[in-house]
């Protein structure tokens, strides 16, 4: 693939120094998104998917901080000259940098899980829409209002002109999510970050929103980073998917490849653990043992090894697995696929009672 | 077919209305019909799934059965082998506590449903003590037994809820429900707040416990894949009424009600090549304070005719075991989430 990436996250590390200790929320994430691509990011709570998304706009809640890594972004509208090739490193800015403010909302827009908490309750929907437009585009208020109403119509809100004067409480959950999408699209960003946008919605409304996002994505050709824990939603919307576990991308590739032919034991186990229509009724599910480890107590070696069904004692608990490129698009972070399998450490420190692999 | 099993629990025309107050000076004007005439039975040992969107009255139904909210009207009949049939709704408040040992509830949110100032042991023991079922060392024995069954570490029982993860808290919630050896358990979104890998563990635990103790479940959830996984039969609710009730596979292969079909079409399939073609429902679920006339679903239904606006469709059996409330249930050939090949 010779296309230039829109976004390249390189070895990103984010930590939260707290009184109880330091939480390594993101521990070496690599992720590439191409223009117009829908990248699904899947993981359970605490895997760092939201923090990764927030880092793109540099809105990580304090005391979180980027310790290392790069977030290379290629803006389509601003300054083509910053680094010669028009690439900026979002991780290198101060979070109040002027350049960042011109990127936020304009080049990279974000929609959130809780549409109620994402709006100001004391301003009308129209006001909040116009704010985003006027911030980045040269327009009169009248033009901005017309543009706002047009956007509301675009996201399927009927009677848009009158709705501009409504307050968020007058909108239902699904409509608020539509309005938030309208704000996000107001400046036709090249990347839309969607953090669990359908999780709080009912299934029928979720289907409507997914349908809308898919349609708008085709119309505007923007890339979407779609974060969710629901594998069914990923299957329906994403082209590519990255599976995250405890701050790392453990596997990524085209969505069909990952869902049909998963390589990482975590991906395999995760897919087996989901009830499937018509396939698992009445049967026991193959659950993943144990719980997600405490963030203060990251396992050594591969973070998944205490729960892994294919753990190699003496290797997985000491050796940090490398990212292995299986083919052009599919990569996995597991020792099973490393070309040179490291020798077991003679003194394993933390071993489950699994039989040693011969 | 084996001989028909007797229903363990039966609700008859169960209703819960909330008075709606308008203005500062009170003066009730109108009511919210949270549930409006719910009738179903659950056989011993089976799981009845209860699905519907937010505001459809699923949770109120579960709570009304336990009388965690007082039903406005209707009966909840409960068949006990040694005591005959008990009408739960007719019990005096003072007797209720004694009978709650037969009916227990598991809640959705493992964070807010456990008292943060009680240890896990005390939380699990509370129903035993409150119903006077056990005393002294027997309490501890039974707590340990059920905690072990729920795969809780017995050494952790002295800890407070904050020290447990979400999945472990849900195990505490399950242990608390099972400690009195109930016959009937209402699982209200019991796995909805959990991560996928933990959800599978809890579903397995619930199914194992059902087999081991011969439990009967009312399984309330909005995730249709989960409901299909655990339920023998499924009831679909819309705006306080049951619109369809059928054996699980019938409901998922050949739904009779357009609302069921719409729900089914909105399940995101795990197969990327089976592109979801959701039946787009116009608008949103109406307010239960002001439900549409006739069939509540008619403003959003693509098959609606004049009759749907004026007459409430009768809830009746169209196929063996499959009930629906739709004027055109027999004419419509609806597609479920599953296709027979």
Q: Spell out a b/e string for A196-221, using b for 16 or more CB atoms within 10 Å of the CB, else e.
A: bbbebbbbbbbbbbbbbbbebbeeee
Q: Could you tell me what percentage of chain A is helix, strand and coil, using 3-state DSSP and rounding each to the nearest 5?
A: 30, 20, 50
B 139-168 → A contacts, CB under 8 A? 165-168
Interchain pair B229, A281: CB under 8 A: yes
* Per-residue pLDDT at A358 exceeds 80: no
User: What is the pLDDT at residue A265?
Assistant: 95
Residue B131: both structure tokens together: 């119903």
Asked if B191 reaches chain A (Cβ–Cβ under 8 Å), the answer is no
Write out chain A residues lying below 8 Å of B230, CB-based. 275
Burial grade of B341 (CB within 10 A; 0-12, 13-18, 19 or more):
exposed
Write out chain A residues lying below 8 Å of B249, CB-based. 281
User: What is the pLDDT at residue B138?
Assistant: 92
| Residues B323/B268, Cβ–Cβ less than 8 Å | no
Task: Indicate the domain borders of chain A.
Answer: 35-58+94-251
User: H or E stretch including B274?
Assistant: none
What is the C-alpha to C-alpha distance for residues A281 and A269, in angstroms, rounded to an integer? 18
The band of A356, judged by pLDDT with boundaries at 50, 70 and 90, is: very low
Write out chain A residues lying below 8 Å of B203, CB-based. 275, 285, 287
Residue A324: both structure tokens together: 């292995």
In this predicted model, what pLDDT tens digit does every residue of B133-168 receive, in sequence order?
A: 888 899 999 999 999 999 999 999 999 999 888 889
Residue B16: both structure tokens together: 């819960």
* Per-residue pLDDT at B9 exceeds 90: yes
Asked if B210 reaches chain A (Cβ–Cβ under 8 Å), the answer is no
Longest dimension (CA), chain B: 67
What is the C-alpha to C-alpha distance for residues A344 and A357, in angstroms, rounded to an integer? 10
What is the C-alpha to C-alpha distance for residues B316 and B63, in angstroms, rounded to an integer? 25
Q: What are phi and psi of A38, to 5 degrees?
A: -100, 110
Q: What are phi and psi of A201, to 5 degrees?
A: -105, 155
Q: Which of A159, A152, A156, A168 is nearest to A118 (CA)?
A: A168
Specify the higher pLDDT residue, B323 or A352.
Answer: B323
User: What is the pLDDT at residue A2?
Assistant: 59
A 279-338 → B contacts, CB under 8 A? 280-282, 284-288, 291-292, 294, 307
Give how far Cα A301 sits from Cα of A26, A291, A306, A308, B130, Å.
15, 17, 10, 12, 48
What is the C-alpha to C-alpha distance for residues A132 and A136, in angstroms, rounded to an integer? 7
**In degrees, to the nearest 5, what angle opens at C-alpha B62 toward C-alphas B57 and B64?**
90
CA closest to B267 among chain A residues: A203
Residue B71: both structure tokens together: 């039903």
* Per-residue pLDDT at A152 exceeds 50: yes
* Per-residue pLDDT at A357 exceeds 60: no
Residue A200: both structure tokens together: 């709080």
Orientation of helix A173-185 relative to helix A125-136, angle to 10°: 10
Write out chain B residues lying below 8 Å of A208, CB-based. 278, 280-281
In total, chain B counts a number of residues equal to 341
Residue A10: both structure tokens together: 């390189």
In this predicted model, what pLDDT tens digit does every residue of B245-270 receive, in sequence order?
A: 999 999 999 999 999 999 999 998 88
What is the C-alpha to C-alpha distance for residues A203 and B267, in angstroms, rounded to an integer? 7
Interval B231-243 mean pLDDT = 95
* Per-residue pLDDT at A350 exceeds 60: no
Interchain pair B203, A285: CB under 8 A: yes
What is the C-alpha to C-alpha distance for residues B187 and B191, in angstroms, rounded to an integer? 9
Q: What is the DSSP string of B222-268?
A: S-HHHHHHH-SEEEEEETTEEEEEEEHHHHHHS--SHHHHHHHHTSP
| Residues B228/B23, Cβ–Cβ less than 8 Å | no
Write out chain A residues lying below 8 Å of B58, CB-based. none
What is the C-alpha to C-alpha distance for residues A231 and A251, in angstroms, rounded to an integer? 14
User: What is the pLDDT at residue A150?
Assistant: 92
The nearest CA of chain B is from the CA of A137 a distance in Å of 32
Specify the higher pLDDT residue, B3 or B280.
Answer: B280
Contacts for B286 with CB less than 8 Å, ≥ 6 apart: B239, B292, B296, B299
Interchain pair A236, B276: CB under 8 A: yes
Write out chain B residues lying below 8 Å of A286, CB-based. 200
Query: Could you tell me the pTM of the whole model?
Result: 0.88
In total, chain A counts a number of residues equal to 358
Candidates B57, B276, B299, partner chain A, best to mutate (most A CBs within 10 A): B276
In this predicted model, what pLDDT tens digit does every residue of A193-246 receive, in sequence order?
A: 999 998 888 888 888 889 999 999 999 999 999 999 999 999 999 999 999 999
Asked if B77 reaches chain A (Cβ–Cβ under 8 Å), the answer is no
Interchain pair A292, B272: CB under 8 A: no
**Number of neighbouring beta carbons within 10 Å of residue B296:** 26
β-partners of residue A172 are none
Candidates A275, A292, A296, A297, partner chain B, best to mutate (most B CBs within 10 A): A275
Residue B74: both structure tokens together: 């209707």
What is the C-alpha to C-alpha distance for residues A257 and A228, in angstroms, rounded to an integer? 18
Write out chain A residues lying below 8 Å of B262, CB-based. 204
**Check whether domain A35-58+94-251 has CATH 3.40.50.11720, yes or no:** no
The band of B324, judged by pLDDT with boundaries at 50, 70 and 90, is: very high
What is the C-alpha to C-alpha distance for residues A181 and A163, in angstroms, rounded to an integer? 15
User: H or E stretch including B211?
Assistant: helix B196-213
The nearest CA of chain B is from the CA of A289 a distance in Å of 8
The band of A12, judged by pLDDT with boundaries at 50, 70 and 90, is: very high
User: What is the pLDDT at residue B5?
Assistant: 60
Longest dimension (CA), chain A: 74
Our CA dihedral for A130, A135, A140, A143, rounded to 10 degrees, sits at: -40
In this predicted model, what pLDDT tens digit does every residue of A41-96 receive, in sequence order?
A: 999 888 999 999 999 999 999 899 999 999 999 888 776 544 556 788 998 888 88
The secondary structure of residue A344, as a DSSP letter, is P
* Per-residue pLDDT at A170 exceeds 50: yes
β-partners of residue B325 are B315
User: What is the pLDDT at residue A353?
Assistant: 45
Query: Helices H, strands E: what count in chain B?
Result: 10, 12
Interchain pair A259, B272: CB under 8 A: yes
* Per-residue pLDDT at B27 exceeds 70: no
The nearest CA of chain B is from the CA of A104 a distance in Å of 31
The closest CB to that of A204, out of B199, B262, B272, belongs to B262
Write out chain A residues lying below 8 Å of B271, CB-based. 235, 259
| Residues A306/A290, Cβ–Cβ less than 8 Å | yes
Write out chain B residues lying below 8 Å of A174, CB-based. 284
**Number of neighbouring beta carbons within 10 Å of residue A344:** 18
The nearest CA of chain B is from the CA of A206 a distance in Å of 8
Asked if B24 reaches chain A (Cβ–Cβ under 8 Å), the answer is no
Asked if A159 reaches chain B (Cβ–Cβ under 8 Å), the answer is no
B 36-65 → A contacts, CB under 8 A? 53-54
Write out chain B residues lying below 8 Å of A211, CB-based. 278, 280
Interchain pair B229, A269: CB under 8 A: no
Q: What is the mean pLDDT of chain A?
A: 88
User: What is the pLDDT at residue A31?
Assistant: 94
**Percentage of chain A with pLDDT > 90?**
55
Residue B285: both structure tokens together: 């679920």
Q: Which of A127, A120, A129, A61 is nearest to A95 (CA)?
A: A61
Determine the 3-state secondary structure of B264 from DSSP.
helix
In this predicted model, what pLDDT tens digit does every residue of B180-207 receive, in sequence order?
A: 999 999 999 999 888 888 899 999 999 9
The closest CB to that of B195, out of A229, A285, A286, belongs to A229
Specify the higher pLDDT residue, B109 or A9.
Answer: A9
Asked if B229 reaches chain A (Cβ–Cβ under 8 Å), the answer is yes
Residue B46: both structure tokens together: 């089976």
Q: How far is CA B179 from the centre of its chain?
A: 20
Asked if B269 reaches chain A (Cβ–Cβ under 8 Å), the answer is yes
* Per-residue pLDDT at A189 exceeds 80: yes
Residue A292: both structure tokens together: 């997600």
The nearest CA of chain A is from the CA of B274 a distance in Å of 8
The nearest CA of chain A is from the CA of B201 a distance in Å of 5
Number of A–B residue contacts, CB under 8 Å: 133
The closest CB to that of A204, out of B53, B195, B226, belongs to B53
Give how far Cα A181 sits from Cα of A115, A194, A197, B56, Å.
10, 9, 9, 27
Burial grade of B67 (CB within 10 A; 0-12, 13-18, 19 or more):
middle
Q: Which of A304, A311, A339 is nearest to A323 (CA)?
A: A339
Interval B67-83 mean pLDDT = 89
Sign of CA dihedral A81, A85, A89, A92: negative
**Percentage of chain B with pLDDT > 70?**
95
In this predicted model, what pLDDT tens digit does every residue of A304-333 receive, in sequence order?
A: 999 999 999 889 999 889 999 999 899 999
What is the C-alpha to C-alpha distance for residues A57 and A74, in angstroms, rounded to an integer? 14
Write out chain A residues lying below 8 Å of B266, CB-based. 203-204, 206-207
Q: How far is CA B233 from the centre of its chain?
A: 12
A 24-53 → B contacts, CB under 8 A? 44-45
Asked if B248 reaches chain A (Cβ–Cβ under 8 Å), the answer is yes
């Amino acid at each position: 693939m010779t296309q230039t990436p829109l976004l390249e996250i390189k070895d990103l590390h984010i930590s939260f120094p707290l009184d109880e200790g330091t939480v390594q929320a993101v521990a070496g994430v690599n992720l590439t998104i191409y223009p117009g691509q829908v990248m699904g990011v899947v993981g359970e709570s605490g895997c760092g998917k939201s923090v990764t998304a927030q880092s793109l706009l540099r809105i990580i809640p304090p005391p979180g901080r980027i310790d290392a890594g790069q977030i290379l972004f290629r803006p389509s509208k601003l300054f083509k000259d910053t680094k010669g090739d028009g690439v900026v490193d979002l991780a290198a800015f101060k979070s109040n940098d002027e350049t960042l403010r011109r990127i936020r909302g304009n080049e990279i827009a974000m929609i959130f899980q809780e549409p109620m908490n994402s709006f100001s309750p004391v301003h009308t929907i129209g006001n909040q829409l116009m704010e985003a437009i006027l911030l980045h585009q040269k327009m009169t208020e009248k033009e901005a209002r017309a543009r706002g109403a047009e956007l509301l119509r675009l996201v399927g809100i009927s009677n848009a002109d009158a709705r501009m004067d409504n307050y968020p409480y007058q909108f239902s959950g699904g409509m608020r999510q539509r309005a938030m999408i309208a704000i996000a699209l107001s400046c036709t960003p090249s990347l839309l970050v969607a953090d669990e946008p359908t999780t709080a919605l009912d299934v029928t409304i979720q289907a409507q929103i997914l349908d809308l996002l898919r349609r708008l994505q085709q119309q505007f050709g923007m890339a979407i980073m779609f974060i969710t824990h629901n594998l069914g939603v990923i299957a329906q919307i994403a082209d590519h998917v990255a599976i995250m576990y405890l701050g790392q991308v453990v596997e990524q590739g085209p969505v069909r490849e990952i869902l049909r032919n998963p390589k990482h034991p975590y991906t395999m186990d995760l897919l087996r653990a989901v009830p499937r229509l018509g396939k698992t009724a009445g049967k026991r599910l193959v659950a993943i043992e144990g719980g997600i480890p405490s963030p203060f107590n990251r396992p050594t070696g591969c973070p998944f090894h205490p729960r892994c069904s294919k753990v190699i004692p003496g290797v997985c608990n000491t050796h940090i697995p490398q990212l292995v490129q299986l083919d052009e698009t599919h990569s996995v972070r597991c020792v099973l696929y490393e070309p040179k399998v490291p020798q077991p450490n003679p003194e394993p420190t933390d071993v489950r009672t699994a039989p040693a692999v011969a | 077919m084996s001989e028909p099993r007797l229903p363990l629990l039966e609700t008859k025309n169960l209703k819960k209305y909330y008075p709606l107050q308008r203005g500062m000076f009170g003066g009730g004007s109108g009511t919210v019909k949270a549930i409006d005439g719910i009738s179903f039975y659950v056989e011993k040992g089976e799981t009845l799934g209860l699905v519907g969107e937010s505001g459809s009255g699923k949770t109120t139904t579960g709570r009304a059965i336990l009388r965690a909210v007082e039903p406005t009207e209707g009966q909840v009949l409960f068949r006990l082998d040694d005591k005959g049939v008990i009408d739960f709704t007719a019990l005096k408040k003072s007797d209720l506590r004694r009978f709650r040992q037969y009916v227990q509830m598991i809640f959705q949110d493992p964070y807010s449903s456990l008292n943060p100032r009680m240890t896990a042991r005390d939380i699990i023991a509370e129903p035993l003590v409150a119903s006077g079922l056990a005393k002294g060392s027997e309490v501890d024995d039974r707590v340990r037994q059920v905690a072990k069954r729920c795969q809780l570490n017995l050494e952790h029982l002295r800890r407070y809820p904050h020290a447990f993860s979400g999945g472990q808290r849900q195990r505490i919630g399950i242990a608390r429900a099972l400690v009195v050896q109930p016959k009937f358990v209402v699982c209200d979104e019991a796995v909805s707040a959990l991560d996928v890998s933990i959800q599978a563990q809890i579903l397995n635990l619930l199914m194992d416990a059902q087999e081991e103790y011969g439990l009967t479940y009312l399984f309330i959830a909005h995730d249709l894949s989960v409901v299909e996984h655990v339920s023998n039969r499924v009831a679909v609710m819309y705006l306080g009424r049951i619109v369809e009730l059928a054996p699980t596979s019938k409901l998922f292969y050949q739904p009779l009600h357009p609302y069921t079909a719409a729900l089914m079409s909105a399940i995101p399939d795990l197969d990327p090549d089976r592109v979801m073609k959701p039946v787009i429902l116009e608008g949103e679920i109406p307010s239960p304070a002001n439900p549409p006339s006739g069939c509540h679903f008619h403003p959003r239904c693509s098959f609606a005719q004049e009759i749907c606006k004026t007459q409430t469709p009768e809830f009746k059996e169209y196929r063996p075991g499959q009930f629906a409330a739709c004027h055109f249930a027999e004419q419509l050939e609806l597609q479920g989430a599953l296709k027979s090949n």
